[in-house]
Structure 1
Amino acid sequence: MPCALRNLSNRLFDFICLWILPTGYLLLLCALFFLPERSLLHKLYYGLFSIPTLIALCIRPTKLKSLLREPIFIAVLLFCIWALISLAWSPPVDSLPGEFKPPAHLLMLFVGCSLLVSYRLDVLRPLCFCAAMVALVASLFNLYTFSLAYTPGARMIGGGAFDNPLLSSHVFGFFVVYWLWLSMSCQRMRVLLLSIPAMAVMFAAVLATGSRTPLVALTLAVAWICFMYSNKRSLILLTTMLTGAMAVLLMFPHMLGERGDSYRLEIWALVLNYIAEHPWIGHGFNANLAVDVNIGYFLDEPHNFALGVLYYVGIVGLVPWLFMQAWGLFKSWQLRSTPLVVLASSWLVFGIGAGLTEGGGVLSRPKEHWFLLWIPLALIAALCIAQRARRTPPHVMQTLAPAALEQLTCDARVIESDGLGPKVMRLNDGSFLKLFRPRRWYTSGGFNPYSERFASNSEQLGELGIVTPSIMDLYRLADGSSAVRYQPLAGQTLRHCLQVAGSADERAKLVRAFGVYMASLHEHGVYFRSLHLANVLVLESGGFGLIDLADLRIYPSPLRSSLRQRNLRHMQRYTEDNQWLFHEHLDALRSGYAQLTSANQAQGLLKAA
């Protein structure tokens, strides 16, 4: 591929992964609250998530390899293939290619989530929080307008693209689970003071819809979250849930009993009779379903997801459908130390509970039903792939009490400090403890602690063959700080080695080797904002290693010229580094950099300061 075309494809791939997909994912989560109709959600999803994902996949088809090693994605793929095969015995369709669109867009959800988690994991928590805030504000407005026009027996539908109280309740419940998870996982009182009232507002929205299915689903989600965390908050949550259930029974007894079983038993009995006609292969993906329970019109859904799968694609289709959910919960239990996995699996449990008495379509375009199954499953699959590729911190963040911290740092030697106290300490066993001050909860550092970034970056760089410190533990401290404990690399900083070099030729040799190393970082997409000669070690075993890894990002493609220039300008701020690299030994630096890039690129980037 010509160099210019390769650079263009790399920039397009980066732009899609870093900017387009996060925007599309945010709108997928919250656009129903403000769009005037659901068809606009479809267009937004296609234009900002599905089609960009397809373009990214065409640019780098090798990204499918990691997906094809993920059991959840394989099950989804088999399910979609079988659904399309079932068109052979479905009623005739107007446009066969049009029937391929829903499965294709669904598969792009899984591919896009994998790319998003792989390259922008740092924005996933802020995205979910922003979507939840949109849902919170919209729900407050919906509750207010509903209260003004309330009449006994009325059920709130919600604004935006919502057109059905039951379907609205699924999305409201989805965000109840989010705020519940945030209440259980947050460590800051300010966040807790926001999340608990927000959860109450979203739960009030669920109650206002008059739907009973989400109450069962939320009960299951609460039980799952308590099972995943199993701490004091879990006990408080269970007590609160029982108290709340009793309050709902006392205050809204009509909600549970006034509509009886809403014809569910009659519907299921009729659908089971239809299923018995073709139990193994179903009636076909595009088959019609008309259920008559003598209410004056036909129902086109079995009001149970499992029965819907059996009706359309039979037992053969039910097997991968059940497997993907069971495997998702199993892997979530294994990865329960990762907060986002707990959130995604809680969403899935909520969806399983809601699907007991609602839904039935096999594959659909983006709508409320996606919040019950496909969005949670896609996130779980993406997190599993990222964990396998070591893009998530492998260590559990432990809470370190003040007494334990004092014992750990007893007789430790302070390596680096600031006006607030020690920043890096060498412990008695030779390991290092690096402290990160607490950041404001709404900042990037509040959502993604720098200690976790340090550990995650270390793992990812190791996968690229770049030597970094070995992570031992992650800690959360009582004052809101976090810390990472690691085994330091054996060596001296490059700045020190240049200072003690015996001759200009020896310095030139080191600078040339550093030029090769810096080019390797840039070609691997490593943008180290704080790159300078004191953050690069000359290892005793040969070669170089990186330290101070929190302020680092790994891009999907080799760095573009502007980022490389920015990296170089940072080094030029240091007088000694600037003198050695960009004056005395500039030719040696260019020579080394050109070994992995080109002479023209090295000449254009590396200029005297």
Structure 2
Amino acid sequence: MFRQLEVGLEALKRVRMEPVLLVWMSIGLFVQLAGLLFNSDGSRYATQVYLLLFVPALILLIWDRLALSLWRQLPAYCFLVLMAWVLLIAVLHPGSGKSLGYWLKVVLLLGLYVFAVARLVASPRRFQVILIAAALVAVLFACLTLYYQFVVLDRPFEYRILRSGSVRLRELGWKGLADLNHPIIAGLYYGIFVVMITWFFLAWRMTAARTSMLALALVGLLLYVLLTFSRGAWFSVAAGSFVLLLLFSNRKAYVFLVIGLVLLAVATYWFWPEIQNERRIGVTDREFIWHNWLQHLPSFWLWGSGAGAELMFTFPEGTRQAGRTFNHAHSLYLQLWYEYGVIGLVLFLAFMGSLLWKGWRCRHTPLALLALGLLVFAMVAMVSDVYAIFHRPSPYWVLLWLPAGILLGVKWPENHRQPMPSIP
């Protein structure tokens, strides 16, 4: 009898506590996605994410008794093994930087983040509201940046000037808002929302008003991404959006594809001299950094150089960036291999493969399609631009761990594909 009473009281607590925690986490996820644009201080952003996302996620994880059912799937096994390898290298490898406490904290936060996203995905309508709110903020700041930079500050709209590294878009330019520190990071961050809005267009039942609003939002975001001159972001947006169009394969997807190809052809003709210049620029001397990585390969190929180890390289005289020093491989795949060895790289690729596999198996679920588009976006971006994924909350969390959490949370549908519920 006492056991039954205990179970009853626990159920009553759960009914009262769980909705509060889910709302709390929803606010926290919105802050994590869009707060980067409001905060000019990284520590303030981190504090907000801790209090609004990680704290309720930890409480809910304990309340769910570690949510064991969530972790009983192949992508979760791959994620946990990867996290265990990161900790093992951090503990045992003499080349690892920072303390064991730091790496334990990073692994715990990543676990809480993917759990929070997966838990919120269980309510697609709630999750969609979070995505819409974050996308609206991103579109607003992208448009404000374009207005402030080219209307208020009256910057010249000329390729030669805009292409120079010092003036590529990376921030709003007013009171430290929407400052993403580097045009590559800015291009990737706003590019995520291009893929997201493409998914809105394909998943929603469209009206003339919605079509017009989404089109304007896409134009603003795409123009911002274009003017960052982050070619990794360009290719990532193209890859993520193209995958979405292929996965949906409906009339809207075909129309979108045709319009995109026509615009691409017109842009290629109109901007052919600029495209030729981009081709001449190439990979911006990354080949020297990659060659340096290859020269060091025999020393780290198996066990890596340690968690957080830096691959230092200074450009020699005679190159365009002579004298500049970089501390990473300018490719996440190469950097992971450098830090965690071939075993760490294989575990990471296995994790990516397991996510793709689950996304494909759950392709009748609209959120799984979104996650697949975002994951392909991330996998292309990680070829040349992303330098770290095991660190404190940053734009790169939105890039990789958001789609990972979505795919961990989606469930195999009982029926065929259902349209994403529309927000009234």
Bin for the TM-score computed over the shorter chain: 0.7 to 0.9
Q: Evaluate the alpha carbon distance shift between residue 90 and residue 233 of structure 1 in structure 2; reply closer, same or farther with a 3 A threshold.
A: farther
Alignment of 1:489-508 (within 5 A): none
Matching residue's letter, 2:392? R
1:167 aligns with 2:188: no
Alignment of 1:173-252 (within 5 A): 173-189=191-207, 190-249=209-268, 250-251=270-271, 252=274
Q: How far 1:335 sits from its partner (Å)?
A: 1.8
Provide the residue aligned with 1:81 in structure 2: 84
Provide the residue aligned with 1:310 in structure 2: 337
1:518-552 deviations in Å (ceiling 9; x for gaps): xxxxxxxxxxxxxxxxxxxxxxxxxxxxxxxxxxx
Q: Evaluate the alpha carbon distance shift between residue 94 and residue 206 of structure 1 in structure 2; reply closer, same or farther with a 3 A threshold.
A: closer
Q: Secondary structure at the match of 1:138?
A: helix
Alignment of 1:15-30 (within 5 A): 15-30=19-34
Alignment of 1:50-61 (within 5 A): 50-61=54-65
Q: How far 1:7 sits from its partner (Å)?
A: 7.4
Q: Evaluate the alpha carbon distance shift between residue 248 and residue 38 of structure 1 in structure 2; reply closer, same or farther with a 3 A threshold.
A: farther
1:557-576 deviations in Å (ceiling 9; x for gaps): xxxxxxxxxxxxxxxxxxxx
Matching residue's letter, 1:146? Q
Q: Is the 8 A contact 1:222 1:238 kept in 2?
A: no
1:134-153 deviations in Å (ceiling 9; x for gaps): 11111110111121332413
1:40 aligns with 2:58: no
Q: How far 1:254 sits from its partner (Å)?
A: 6.7
- Pairing partner for 2:275 from 230, 233, 253: 253
1:405-452 deviations in Å (ceiling 9; x for gaps): xxxxxxxxxxxxxxxxxxxxxxxxxxxxxxxxxxxxxxx96339xxxx
Alignment of 1:453-472 (within 5 A): none
1:126 aligns with 2:153: no
Q: Evaluate the alpha carbon distance shift between residue 246 and residue 267 of structure 1 in structure 2; reply closer, same or farther with a 3 A threshold.
A: farther
Q: Is the 8 A contact 2:191 2:237 kept in 1?
A: yes
Q: Is the 8 A contact 1:272 1:307 kept in 2?
A: no
Q: Secondary structure at the match of 1:373?
A: helix
Q: How far 1:362 sits from its partner (Å)?
A: 4.5
1:177-234 deviations in Å (ceiling 9; x for gaps): 1111112222222322211221111000101112111111122113211220123333
Q: Is the 8 A contact 1:355 1:372 kept in 2?
A: no
Q: Is the 8 A contact 2:78 2:354 kept in 1?
A: no
1:368 aligns with 2:389: no
CA distance in 2, matches of 1:53, 1:163: 29
Higher relative contact order (CA 8 A, sep 6+): 2
Q: How far 1:269 sits from its partner (Å)?
A: 1.3
CA distance in 2, matches of 1:393, 1:196: 33
Alignment of 1:103-114 (within 5 A): 103-114=107-118
CA distance in 1, matches of 2:12, 2:53: 20
Provide the residue aligned with 1:155 in structure 2: 168
Alignment of 1:506-545 (within 5 A): none
CA distance in 1, matches of 2:225, 2:403: 20
Q: Secondary structure at the match of 2:141?
A: helix
Provide the residue aligned with 1:265 in structure 2: 287
Determine which structure has the larger strand proportion and give its number.
1
User: How many residues matched?
Assistant: 395
1:80-107 deviations in Å (ceiling 9; x for gaps): 1111111221436553312211111011
Question: 5+ unaligned residues in a row in structure 2: which ranges?
Answer: 173-177, 317-321
CA distance in 1, matches of 2:354, 2:93: 30
* TM-score, with structure 1 as normaliser: 0.61
Q: How far 1:242 sits from its partner (Å)?
A: 2.5
Provide the residue aligned with 1:324 in structure 2: 351
Provide the residue aligned with 1:379 in structure 2: 406
Matching residue's letter, 1:381? L
Q: Is the 8 A contact 2:205 2:422 kept in 1?
A: no
Determine which structure has the larger helix proportion and give its number.
2
Q: Secondary structure at the match of 1:289?
A: coil
Q: Evaluate the alpha carbon distance shift between residue 214 and residue 186 of structure 1 in structure 2; reply closer, same or farther with a 3 A threshold.
A: same
Q: How far 1:41 sits from its partner (Å)?
A: 2.4
1:236-257 deviations in Å (ceiling 9; x for gaps): 2332232333344333537724
Question: 5+ unaligned residues in a row in structure 1: which ranges?
Answer: 399-443, 449-609
- Pairing partner for 2:71 from 65, 68, 71: 68
CA distance in 1, matches of 2:13, 2:311: 46
1:16-47 deviations in Å (ceiling 9; x for gaps): 53211111111111111211123322222211
Q: Is the 8 A contact 1:90 1:285 kept in 2?
A: no
Q: CA RMSD of the aligned region, Å? A: 2.5
Q: How far 1:279 sits from its partner (Å)?
A: 0.9
Provide the residue aligned with 1:396 in structure 2: 417
CA distance in 1, matches of 2:179, 2:19: 29
Q: Secondary structure at the match of 2:299?
A: coil
Q: Evaluate the alpha carbon distance shift between residue 50 and residue 161 of structure 1 in structure 2; reply closer, same or farther with a 3 A threshold.
A: farther
CA distance in 2, matches of 1:266, 1:40: 37
Matching residue's letter, 1:164? H
Q: How far 1:113 sits from its partner (Å)?
A: 1.7
Provide the residue aligned with 1:277 in structure 2: 299
CA distance in 2, matches of 1:248, 1:280: 46
Q: Is the 8 A contact 1:275 1:314 kept in 2?
A: no
1:293 aligns with 2:308: no
Q: Is the 8 A contact 2:97 2:309 kept in 1?
A: no
Q: Is the 8 A contact 1:16 1:52 kept in 2?
A: no
Provide the residue aligned with 1:545 in structure 2: none
Q: Evaluate the alpha carbon distance shift between residue 316 and residue 8 of structure 1 in structure 2; reply closer, same or farther with a 3 A threshold.
A: same
CA distance in 2, matches of 1:255, 1:57: 52
Q: Between the two proteins, what is the percent identity of the paired residues?
A: 22
